[in-house]
């Protein structure tokens, strides 16, 4: 896939894909970036991708970090989260436990980014496995609303909603970027989740707490006498 990229210095965003082992993070990412379906047994330790996409007519470079869902690698999370600007939280609709784990991940992101409005998209993957569904769409949707994040049901296998989740995340990041605030933003969140027809997320003015961030960096003064 050869692309010749634009002349403009376009924006670059760091996306981190998180979720427990085997939910299909790598498959989603590979579908999005390379248009390929990967079948093999290949748990991830850490993979990085770079791609360029057009979002609403604007070119955006994405650096996507596909992380390990294997819990033994938790200690790496801190670093990812620090580097990330937008997060895909992926679970599999065939496993309730995989959804349960997202709550901790989200908390951790918010703590590390110190920002409750950090761009997040929640993805229920493996939507093609309808007969194995273990998570109600409505239930997942409710959680996503509490988190004030759009929810999509996707399938890496059938390539359903794959582009949509990434593009939604890009929109969120672009909007923040446009308003020039990396720290404080309110209006940035406006879900456009049309996942499987129903996932429309209400306007993004949920229970947002304004964060109180004190500025103290470099406050300790060093006087040379």
Partner 1 sequence: MSVMLQTPSRASTGSTTSFHPLSRQNTMSSYEGSRSTRQSKRYSMSALYMSMSANDSDLIIEDELARAQKVLRDLKTKISSQSKKNFVLEKDVRYLDSRIALLIQNRMALEEQNEVASHLEDATDIQEGAFPNDDKTQKYGNLLFLLQSEPRHIAHLCRLVTMAEIDSLLQTVMFTIYGNQYESREEHLLLTMFQSVLTYQFDNTPEYSSLLRANTPVSRMMTTYTRRGPGQSFLKSVLADRINSLIELKDLDLEINPLKVYERMIEEAEAKDPESPEAMLPKGITQEEAAENPKVQEIINPRLTMLTEIANGFLETIIDGLEETPYGIRWICKQIRSLTKRKYPDANDQIICTLIGSFFFLRFINPAIVTPKSYMLIDGTPADKPRKTLTYVAKMLQNLANKPSYAKEPYMAKLQPFIHANKDKVNRFMLELCEVQDFYETLEMDNYVALSKKDLQLDITLNEIYAMHGLLEKHAGELYKDENSHLAIIMSELGTAPPQVPRKENRVINLPLFSRWETAIDDLTAALDITQEEVFFMEAKSIFVQILRTIPANSSVARRPLRLERIADAAATSKNDAVMVRKGIRAMELLSQLQELKVVDKSDQFSLLRDEVEQELQHLGSLKEVVMSETIKLEEVYKTIRDHNAYLVSQLDTYKSYLHNVRSQSEGKTRKQQKQQVLGPYKFTHQQLEKEGVIQKSNVPDNRRANIYFNFTSPLPGTFVISLHYKGRNRGLLELDLKLDDLLEMQKDNQDELDLEYVQFNVPKVLALLNKRFARKKGW
Ligand X SMILES: Nc1nc2c(ncn2[C@@H]2O[C@H](COP(=O)(O)OP(=O)(O)OP(=O)(O)O)[C@@H](O)[C@H]2O)c(=O)[nH]1
Question: Which residues of the shown chain bind partner 1 in the complex (CB under 8 A)?
Answer: 1-3, 5-6, 9-10, 20-23, 26, 29-30, 34, 36, 38-43, 45-50, 52, 61, 66, 69-73, 75-76, 78, 82, 95, 97-98, 100-101, 108, 111-112, 114, 211-214, 216, 219-225
Judged by beta carbon, residue 21 or residue 206, the one nearer ligand X is: 21
Token digits of residue 63: 């650096």
Closest distance to ligand X from the beta carbon of 90 (Å): 7
Partner whose footprint covers residue 156, from Mg ion, ligand X, partner 1, none (CB < 5 to 8 Å by kind) = ligand X
- Residue 129, interface with ligand X (CB under 6 A)? yes
| Residue 44 interacting with Mg ion (CB under 5 A) | yes
CA distance 192 to 163: 13
Within positions 196 to 225, which residues make up the interface with ligand X, using CB under 6 A?
Answer: none
CB 124 within 8 A of CB 91: yes
Q: From CA 158, how far away is CA 31, in angstroms rounded?
A: 10
């Amino acid at each position: 896939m050869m692309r010749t990229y634009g002349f403009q210095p376009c924006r670059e965003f760091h996306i981190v894909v998180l979720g427990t082992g085997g939910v299909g993070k790598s498959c989603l990412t590979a579908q999005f970036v390379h248009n390929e379906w990967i079948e093999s047994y290949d748990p991830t330790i850490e993979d990085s991708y770079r791609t360029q996409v057009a979002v609403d007519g604007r070119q955006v470079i994405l650096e996507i970090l596909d992380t390990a869902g294997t819990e033994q690698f938790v200690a790496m999370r801190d670093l990812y989260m620090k580097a990330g600007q937008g997060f895909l939280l992926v679970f599999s609709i065939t496993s309730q436990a995989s959804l349960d784990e997202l709550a901790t991940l989200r908390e951790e992101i918010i703590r590390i980014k110190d920002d409750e409005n950090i761009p997040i998209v929640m993805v229920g993957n493996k939507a093609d496995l309808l007969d194995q569904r273990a998570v109600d769409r409505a239930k997942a949707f409710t959680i996503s609303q509490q988190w004030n994040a759009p929810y999509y049901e996707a399938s890496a296998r059938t390539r359903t909603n794959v582009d949509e989740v990434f593009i939604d995340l890009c929109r969120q990041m672009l909007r923040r970027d446009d308003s020039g605030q990396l720290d404080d933003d309110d209006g940035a969140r406006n879900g456009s989740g049309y996942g499987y027809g129903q996932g429309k997320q209400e306007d993004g003015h949920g229970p947002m707490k304004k964060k109180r961030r004190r500025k103290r960096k470099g406050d300790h003064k060093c006087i040379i006498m």
